[in-house]
Chain A
Amino acid sequence: MNFHLILFSAFGAVCVAGAVNLLAQRHPINSALSLITVMAALAGEYLLLGAEFVAAVQVIVYAGAIMVLFVFVIMLLNAGEEEETKGSRVAVMFGVPGMLIGGVLIAWVVLRHSGTEAVAIGALPGDPRDIAQLLFHNFLLPFEVTSVLILIAIMGAVVLASKPESQGKVD
């Protein structure tokens, strides 16, 4: 039992608790807050692996921007507790056992066939400068394509969320 394993277990426990809480809660705002907990704990895991850039982006973009958008939409639409329906009960009956069996199989394969070597604390050599070197040299074309993607997403969001004109619509 060393310090690295203790930190990994602490952050991992927070992750697992948040993910289970996301499933257990019935109100969307509670699920959103537990998802923020999962993302913050994952940032801690990234720091343990030495990925400072990814940890910072995780907190700023994921836990910050995206989840604020989620919470904003939940409050805008005044989402209440979800009601249980026949479909969800069938999904619980068949989905959860199936996932458990699949999860046990995956865990068995992973523990059996990989990762006998340990990952050292802060194992990644890269500081943000190396990542920038990689991002703006080797991955320059994908980077530019993502900017086009973001632009299309902005336009799509504006078009979809704007109020539809009521012409030709019979209410």
Chain B
Amino acid sequence: MVPLSYYLLLSGFLFGCGVIGFLIKRNIITIFMSIELMLNGVNLSFVAFAAHWHALSGQVFVFFVMVVAAAEAAVGLAIIIAVYRTRETLNVDQVNLLKL
């Protein structure tokens, strides 16, 4: 038997790693992957709470989070391709102008 708090700690650790990656990474693709890591951490706590309270709707929320993440990944990667096409760099420090 594993206490609920262990699941929450693992989920919080994954979310924290995502935040740290978002802060320290300079490559725009890696920053985007850090956001996916944060979403995964949240999903784990959703499922753990669903198991704890015997409420099945937590799993449905995870399903919705995954759908939104898929849509976000598609649009975000398209934006990254567009940025790379105009700036020819993936470093976020060099992407500091709204209009070239």
Which residues of A are in contact with B by a Cβ distance under 8 Å?
A: 2, 4-5, 8, 12, 15-16, 19-20, 22-23, 28, 31-32, 35, 38-39, 42, 45-46, 48-51, 53-54, 57-58, 61-62, 65-66, 69-70, 73-74, 76-77, 79, 82-85, 87-88, 91-92, 95-96, 99, 102-103, 106-107, 110-111, 114-121, 123-126, 130-131, 134-135, 138-139, 142, 146, 149-150, 152-154, 156-161, 163-164
Contacts and interface: CB of A to CB of B under 8 A. Distances in A.
B13 A119 contact: no
Given A16-B13, A20-B17, A53 B59 contact: yes
Interface residues of B, number: 68
Interface of B: 1-10, 12-14, 16-21, 23-27, 29-30, 32-34, 36-37, 40, 43-44, 47-48, 50-52, 54, 56-57, 59-60, 62-64, 66-75, 77-82, 84-85, 90-91, 93
Given A153-B74, A157-B78, A116 B29 contact: no
Q: Is chain A's binding surface mostly helix, strand, loop or mixed?
A: helix
* Binding site secondary structure of chain B: helix
